[in-house]
A and B are shown apart, each in its own frame.
Chain A
Amino acid sequence: MTLMGCSRRSLLIGAGAAVLATPALAQRAWEPTRPVQFIVPAGTGGGADQMARVIQGIVSKHKLMRQPMVVVNKAGGAGAEGFLEAKGARGNPHMIVITLSNLFTTPLATGVPFSWGDLTPVAMLALDEFVLWVNAESPWKTAQEFIAAAKQERLKLGGTGSKQEDQIIGVAMAKATGANLTYVPFRGGGEVAVQLVGRHIDASVNNPIEAVTHWRSGALRPLCVFDGQRLAGTEKITETASWSDIPTAKESGMDVEYLMLRGIFMPAGVQPAQLAFYEDLLGKVRETQEWRELMQQGAFNTTSLTGEAFRAWLTREEARHRGLMQEAGFVA
């Protein structure tokens, strides 16, 4: 028994030495020396979680990194838990975080002491679109008709979570047009879409990927997209329509624009070489077929930024969110 323990220990020490030696051999570029924790500040099954797991799958399938990538969900307090963990891991190069709009909204709504400045921005992977959906059996064929109806009677808008992106859009819509919308929060985007199919709510602002299958089956109808320009996809999703046929909110006479960040961050205080590794890694991920398929399926806005441009974008967005949240009275 003791002998076995001994040999095992020396084996382990050997392995440790080998791992320690690796960076010395490859002086040029930094590489992770331990498994990388990929923190998802949202629950399993949601949009951010799906994207994180796709990235994990791509990285392991194409062997883009020698060390494994481990996805860890820290959803508590609308993601506050995950962000605080990353904030506390200053200087740790083996941790990355995927973020959604709760990067801006959670600290404002809950008062949890945290901002994106506590992290190192790595890259913006994509922007998620929001589309105004109604049930296909409803009489509203355009956003104008929907808004006109919402001025007559109070309509129910379903969305994910409270004081987050969906509700912000709802409030912005109401402010811009004077429509009467009651916001009903649910736990996840898929649930919201089904509630709309079952006509328990009147409208939703689901992301494309959450509602596309119901659109194709003829249960839901898109009215407008909350982006400055129309969506890119031109191939037919239903028999008659493609993503690019959906008018923008502005075309529909509603000046509301909202896109959700899907970006990757690292803890603060990491070295430039470490940051460069992940920028490069994510660049490779974006070039894979699997990634392109995901982008296409979800009709994502594939804008991607790194470095200073990303920082400038974040600064702008944070200020915009503060304004939006303050106007809506969501600031704690």
Chain B
Amino acid sequence: MSMERGLRTGAVEIGTSLAFALAGAAAIWDSRRIGAGWGAEGPQSGTFPFWIGLFLVAASIGTLVQAVRAREESGLFVTWDQLRLVASVLVPTTIFVAAIPITGIYLASAALVAWFMHRLGGFGWGRSVAAGLATALVTFLVFEIWFLVALPKGPIETALGY
């Protein structure tokens, strides 16, 4: 079997339609709470989400049935090699996003740019770090100084008085 070579489309298809159904069910549940009827002066707050949730559940069950039927002949969603490439971008990005509340966006950005250049582009550490810092500095000047947009900041910026 060639199962080892990647994630099968059928599995992802089934998972996705289940997630859709779940979202629909959550909407239905919440709409029932706030009233999903047709009041004296038109629909209540929950009416639209309720019916939309219902449609969503119905459509996703339909997709689910199709996916289950076609499971056997479904191809690969993504090969492990491809997934590795995707992860090489997604994992650092996730760390970047997670780090923003702690370090602020500038330091995190510098690190992300440097990491990408070094790991994915094969640039030396010196140039990568310099480019990262330059990105952070330009961003800082553009947003914080010129446009006066306050972006998330960390301890370093606080120490510098911003």
Chains A, B in direct contact (C-beta < 8 Å): yes
Residue numbers of A with Cβ under 8 A of B are 1-2, 5, 8, 12-13, 15-16, 19-20, 33-35, 37, 68, 70, 72, 182
Q: Are B159 and A70 in contact (CB under 8 A)?
A: no
Known A1-B126, A16-B159, A16-B161; 13 more pairs at CB < 8 Å: A1-B130, A2-B126, A2-B130, A5-B133, A12-B160, A16-B160, A34-B161, A34-B162, A35-B150, A35-B162, A70-B148, A70-B149, A72-B150
Identify the closest chain B residue to A37 (Cβ): B150
Whether a CB of chain A sits under 8 angstroms from the CB of B137 is yes
How far apart are the CA atoms of A68 and B145 in the complex, in Å?
9
User: Any chain A CB within 8 A of the CB of B41?
Assistant: yes
Task: Flag whether B127 is at the interface (Cβ < 8 A).
Answer: yes
Inter-subunit contact A182/B161 (CB<8 Å): no
Complexed CA–CA distance, A35 and B133 (Å): 23
CB-CB contacts of B138-162 with A at 8 A, as 1s and 0s?
A: 0000001000111000000001111
Distance between B121 CB and nearest chain A CB, rounded to angstroms: 16
Q: With A37-B150, A70-B148 in contact, do A5 and B130 touch (Cβ < 8 Å)? A: yes
Question: What CA separation (Å) do A259 and B144 show in the bound complex?
Answer: 37
- Chain B residues lying within 8 Å of A8, measured Cβ to Cβ, are 137
Residues of chain A lying within 8 A (CB to CB) of residue B127? 1
Q: Which residue of B lies closest to A13 (CB)?
A: B160
Contact of B161 among A2, A19, A37, A68 (CB under 8 A): A19
Q: How far is the CA of A70 from the CA of B150 in the complex (A)?
A: 7
Q: Are A35 and B148 in contact (CB under 8 A)?
A: yes
When C-beta atoms are compared, the residue in chain B nearest to A1 turns out to be B130
Docked Cα-Cα span, A37 to B126, in Å, equals: 36
**Which residues of the partner chain B approach A34 to less than 8 Å between Cβ atoms?**
161-162
Q: What's the Cα separation between A33 and B160 when bound, in Å?
A: 10
Minimum Cβ distance to chain A for residue B45 (Å): 10
Q: How far is the CB of A145 from chain B (nearest CB, A)?
A: 25
When C-beta atoms are compared, the residue in chain A nearest to B129 turns out to be: A5
Contact partners of B41 in chain A: CB under 8 A: 182
Complex Cα distance, B126 from A19, in Å, reads 31
B79 to chain A, nearest CB (A): 39
Bound Cα distance from A33 to B162, whole angstroms: 8
Which partner residue on chain B sits nearest A18 by CB separation? B161
Determine the distance from Cα of A1 to Cα of B131 in the docked complex, in whole angstroms: 10
Bound CA–CA A104/B130 (angstroms): 51
Q: Can you offer 16 A-B residue contacts whose CB atoms are under 8 A?
A: A2-B130, A8-B137, A13-B160, A16-B159, A16-B160, A16-B161, A19-B161, A20-B161, A34-B162, A35-B148, A35-B150, A37-B150, A68-B148, A70-B149, A70-B150, A72-B150
CB distance from B123 to the nearest CB of A (A): 12
- What's the least CB distance linking B162 to chain A, in Å? 6
- Whole-angstrom distance between the alpha carbons of A288 and B76 in the complex? 69
The 4 closest A-B pairs by CB, nearest first: A19-B161, A16-B160, A1-B130, A70-B148
**Which residue on A lies nearest to B144, using beta carbons?**
A35
What are the residues of chain A within 8 A of B130 when measuring CB–CB? Answer: 1-2, 5
Residues of A contacting B160 in the complex (Cβ-Cβ under 8 angstroms):
12-13, 15-16, 19
Contacts of A182 in B (CB 8 A): 41
> Which residues from A are CB-within-8-Å of B144?
35
Judge whether B161 and A15 touch: CB under 8 Å: yes
